[in-house]
Chain A
Amino acid sequence: MDLGIDVQHKENKTAVIDLSGEIDVYTAPKFKESLINLIEEGYHDIVVDLQDVTFMDSTGLGALVGGLKRVKPLGGSLVLICNQDKILKIFEITGLNKVFPIYQDAEEATKAFS
């Protein structure tokens, strides 16, 4: 199983990472690396789109938390797009739904940076 990662660079050093497939112990490092690379390139306001993610476990959460910890000290933010109950569930169980702003769609998420 592979993880699709599509990065779109937007204005004002904002980026959208569009993920598709499964995020687990095998694919999460690839996602983590993409996040780190983006941040090192100067993109500190990041939207991670999870709408096409079919499975995610704690390794995916770990990559997101790691990304958030990197952008926060730089004055940046990391927000999520997710409307799937089974993915939202793991954020609720771990309490990370209170840490990450989670939007239902791209339109709502981009308003966060406007």
Chain B
Amino acid sequence: MEQEQERLIELEIPRKADYVVIARLISGALSRMTELDYEAIDDIKLAVSESCTTLIKSPAGDSSEAISLSFTLAEHEIGISIQDKSFMPSGSPAGKSAGTESEDEEEQMRISLIASLVDDVSYESSDDLRRILLRKKAGSLIAADEPDR
């Protein structure tokens, strides 16, 4: 069986709120190169926006100035890695914020949104790296699309 050819595209943006739109635009453009439909492309853009926001809003000690995104395109799916090289206290999950009640509520919304928009999501953190991994396949349903039981 012929294997799908994967393409890798990498992007680095400043770790600033005004550049999240760039990540969104690029992820939308790249998603259109796959078999993902328009709704799935919107899901990807939102998931990437939420992921970048998670990294930007997370407390960071000595943070890098940039967020790195890697896009792996296959015909029927897209994989995205969003990472921030910064110091994190050990044991803290990526995206964990120690903010106000409203900031914590927003963080919970981000986490639930991301999980609902993509097929797979995982958070990785170590002393010097925080990474969010997303995967979306063509033809998959999200929570809001599923018929009521």
Measuring CB to CB, which residues of chain A are less than 8 angstroms from any residue of chain B?
1, 22, 24-26, 55, 57-59, 61-62, 65-66, 86, 89-90, 92-94
Asked if B97 is at the interface (CB within 8 A of a chain A CB), the reply is: no
- With A24-B53, A26-B17 known, 16 other A-B pairs at CB within 8 A are A22-B21, A24-B24, A25-B20, A25-B57, A55-B24, A55-B46, A55-B49, A57-B46, A58-B109, A58-B113, A61-B106, A61-B109, A62-B106, A65-B102, A66-B102, A93-B143
Q: Which residues on the B side are within 8 Å of A24 (C-beta)?
A: 17, 20-21, 24, 49, 53
Please give the distance in Å from B27's CB to the nearest CB on chain A: 12
Please give the distance in Å from B50's CB to the nearest CB on chain A: 6
Main secondary structure of the interface of B (DSSP, over half): helix
Measuring CB to CB, which residues of chain B are less than 8 angstroms from any residue of chain A?
17-18, 20-21, 24, 39, 42, 45-46, 49-50, 52-53, 56-57, 102, 105-106, 109-110, 112-113, 116-117, 142-144
Counting chain A CB atoms within 10 Å of each CB, the highest count among B20, B56, B117, B142 belongs to: B20
Please judge, given known A-B contacts A24-B49, A57-B49, A93-B113, whether A1 and B106 are in contact too, CB under 8 Å: no
Q: How many A-B residue pairs have CB under 8 A?
A: 62
Main secondary structure of the interface of A (DSSP, over half): helix
Please give the distance in Å from A61's CB to the nearest CB on chain B: 6
Bound CA span A10–B143, Å: 38
Q: Which residues on the A side are within 8 Å of B57 (C-beta)?
A: 25
Q: B109 and A62: CB pair below 8 A?
A: yes
Counting chain B CB atoms within 10 Å of each CB, the highest count among A57, A65, A89 belongs to: A57
Q: What are 10 inter-chain pairs, A to B, with CB distance below 8 A?
A: A24-B49, A55-B24, A55-B49, A57-B53, A58-B50, A58-B106, A61-B106, A62-B102, A62-B105, A93-B142
Smallest CB gap from A22: residue in B: B21
Counting chain B CB atoms within 10 Å of each CB, the highest count among A22, A24, A62, A94 belongs to: A24
Q: Which residues on the A side are within 8 Å of B106 (C-beta)?
A: 58-59, 61-62
